[in-house]
A = this chain, B = another copy of it.
Amino acid sequence: MPSLILSVDAMGGDAAPQVVLDGLQVFAARRPEITFLVHGRAEELTAGIEARGLSERCQIMHHEDVVSMSDKPSTAMRRAKGTSMWGAVQSVKSGEAGAAVSAGNTGALMAFSMLALRKMEGVHRPAMTALWPNAKGRAIVLDVGANLDADCDQLVTFAIMGEAYARAVTGKTKPTIGLLNIGSEEGKGRDTLKLAAERLRNPALGLDFKGYVEGNDIALGVVDVVVTDGFTGNVALKTAEGTARLVGVYLREAFSSGLASRLGAILASPGLKRLRAKMDPSQANGGVLLGLNGVVVKSHGGADAEGYATALALAADLAGSRYMEEVASGLARASVEDDDVSEAAQ
């Protein structure tokens, strides 16, 4: 069995490279078969990699430059070459690595990935995914911001890509799919959604499409894959994050108000620890820009070591899966089905 190699942008993220190396250490212990190409400034990486006992598993790829978190994608593009982020993506393009991970500037990473890896045949618009914790584990939501809008074709493509992705990273053999709308009844919502729902229901596509879902269905876990346009998906994701954070603030207030409450918190700590684990954003870390000829995972810039390890696990699961072939055959089925529709319309 050929062992998997992952490419890592060690300089991307709020606390890079320390947290990146910490995440590598956590993940490397769990997956002993995987080795790493670590992109960044050699002088900032060598000692840290040695100290973590990872010298045997990591090959340092030196790059002098770093994309800053505040660079606009256009600025980053002009000086892409020579940066650790560019190097990490190039390792995927060249085939040296099975997938890349970066916690750096999102816009720049999307731009670099598009430029280096190009879109898969049949994909007009790549889509960004989010892992979304829900009552049954976690769902995939896409697009969460790679695009501002999505037409019917694009929504169908998102569904095909999201389903293959969910199979690779959740282990479900037949993930269910829902289309995000403002009502679950047929006939509700924008025309684009009605057209997309009609196409997704076509058995020729081979998808387990459950129809429309509403905002509250995401957390309930009604479906495994929630398909929407990038504007709506981004607003929904950030709204959920804001809501969870607000409840967290309320919770801390509740347990710091008086001696009895504090004692209660100590007694209830095993349950509260589980609650924290369930709400832990590190379990949901990692977005993937689907639809490119290669896998690049975006870690949250503020992710901790555990979160970074989650992003690395996503990259490994995708790289070791049949995701690319499945998307290609799904898109081929959609294109045949599309021709049938056009012929029938003539």
Map CB proximity to B onto A244-277 as digits: 1 under 8 Å, 0 otherwise: 1111011101111110110111111111101100
Q: Are A254 and B267 in contact (CB under 8 A)?
A: no
* Complex: chain B residue closest to A222, CB-CB: B242
Q: Report yes or no: A253 in contact with B274, Cβ–Cβ below 8 A.
A: yes
Interface string of A226-257 (1 = CB under 8 A from B): 00101110111111111111110111011111
Q: Is A127 positioned at the interface, with any CB of B under 8 Å from its CB? A: no
A215-B190 CB under 8 A given contacts A232-B232, A249-B135, A271-B261: no
Alpha-carbon separation in the docked complex, A265 to B245 (Å): 21
Residue numbers in B under 8 Å from A271 (CB-CB): 253-258, 261, 264
CA–CA, A189 and B230, complex, Å: 10
Say whether A100 faces chain B, with CB atoms less than 8 Å apart.
no
User: Which residues of the other chain, B, contact A180 by a CB distance below 8 angstroms?
Assistant: 235
Contact A270 B261, beta carbon cutoff 8 Å: yes
| Any B CB within 8 A of the CB of A149 | yes
Contact A267–B270 (Cβ < 8 Å): no
- Interface SS, A side: helix
CA distance A134 to B245 in the complex (A): 11
A308 to chain B minimum Cβ distance, whole angstroms, is: 21
Q: Is A214 an interface residue (CB 8 A)?
A: yes
B residues in contact with A232, CB < 8 Å = 231-232, 235
A213: min CB distance to chain B, Å: 10
The verdict on A23 contacting chain B, using a C-beta distance below 8 Å, is no
Residue A219 lies at the interface, judged by CB distance under 8 Å to chain B: yes
A216 within 8 A of B: yes
Given A236-B235, A254-B271, A216:B189 Cβ within 8 A: no
Q: Which residues of B contact A115 (CB under 8 A)?
A: none
| A278 contacts the other chain (CB 8 A) | yes
Q: Chain A 177-220, CB within 8 Å of chain B: the 1/0 string?
A: 00010100000011000000000000000000000001111111
A336 at the interface (CB under 8 A from B): no
A15 in the interface (beta carbon within 8 A): no
Docked pose: A95 CA to B319 CA in angstroms: 68
Known: A218-B242, A220-B242, A255-B271. 19 other contacts (CB 8 A): A180-B235, A182-B230, A182-B238, A214-B234, A215-B238, A216-B241, A219-B242, A220-B246, A236-B239, A239-B239, A240-B240, A247-B279, A253-B275, A254-B275, A255-B268, A260-B270, A261-B271, A263-B264, A264-B269
19 A-B pairs within 8 Å (CB atoms) are namely A148-B182, A182-B231, A215-B240, A216-B239, A219-B243, A232-B232, A235-B236, A239-B243, A240-B243, A243-B243, A247-B279, A250-B275, A257-B271, A260-B268, A263-B264, A263-B268, A264-B264, A264-B266, A264-B268
